[in-house]
Structure 1
Amino acid sequence: MKNPRDIIIRPIITEQTSDMMAQNRYVFEVDKRANKTEIKQAIEQIFKVKVAKVNTLIVPAKPKRYGRHEGYTSEWKKAFVQLSEDSKPLEFFETV
């Protein structure tokens, strides 16, 4: 099995995702090759919580320009993690 810290890259903290934290939903940037089962196991191992559901989505590349140079941003994968009812909130996000 892969290292859980290689699967979960970073949390996504925005105004919209901080509103989702009230419903025990958290958003992470994850490895593009990771599947829902691997993401669920990684979250449970790192934070010692019980995950109820995982939804994923691939954020497409966007065209960008810097002066006359054109290119694209990288494609990346986002995971929406729903914790179970009896699970405690993640300590990582309590200070936000």
Structure 2
Amino acid sequence: MNVLKRPLVTEKYTAMNEVGKYAFEVEKKANKVEIKKAVEKLYGVTVTSVATMRSIGKTKTKYTKSGAVTGRTSLIKKAIVTLKEGEMIDFYSGI
């Protein structure tokens, strides 16, 4: 099982990168220890702390010819990873 799904690169999380915090979308059943080990192994950095949160999916409504169709987007789990002072992750190195 791959714990990390993708890094979250938004305006808010990019601003947090300057203070050594990085955000990832992770598996729903992953715990903090698994997330820490996965980040350290994949990026070769030292993780000092991990904060997790579950983001509940939003309700969406689409209006069609046959009427309104209501559904919900899927739940995701996010992890905010704090690195050791002076270390950083470069997401754009492979571009």
Q: Same fold (TM over 0.5)?
A: yes
Note the residue ranges of structure 1 that are not aligned, 5 or more in a row. Answer: none
Residue 74 of structure 2 is matched in structure 1 by 74
Change (3 A) 1:94 1:15: farther
Provide the secondary structure at the position in 1 that maps to 2:13. Answer: helix
Name the structure with the higher strand share.
2
Note the residue ranges of structure 2 that are not aligned, 5 or more in a row. Answer: none
Count of residues paired in the alignment = 90
Deviations 1:39-96 (A, max 9, x none): 000000000000000000000121101111100010110000000114x21122569x
Instruction: Calculate the TM-score normalised by the size of structure 2.
Output: 0.88
Write the distance in 2 (CA, Å) between the matches of 1:42 and 1:66: 38
RMSD of aligned Cα (Å): 1.5
Deviating runs (4+, > 4 A) in structure 1? none
* Bigger Rg, which one: 2
Name the structure with the higher helix share.
1
Deviation of 1:9 after TM superposition, in Å, equals 0.2
Identical-pair percentage: 38
Write the distance in 2 (CA, Å) between the matches of 1:93 and 1:53: 23
Write the distance in 2 (CA, Å) between the matches of 1:36 and 1:49: 16
**What does residue range 9-48 of structure 1 map to in structure 2 within 5 Å?**
9-48=5-44
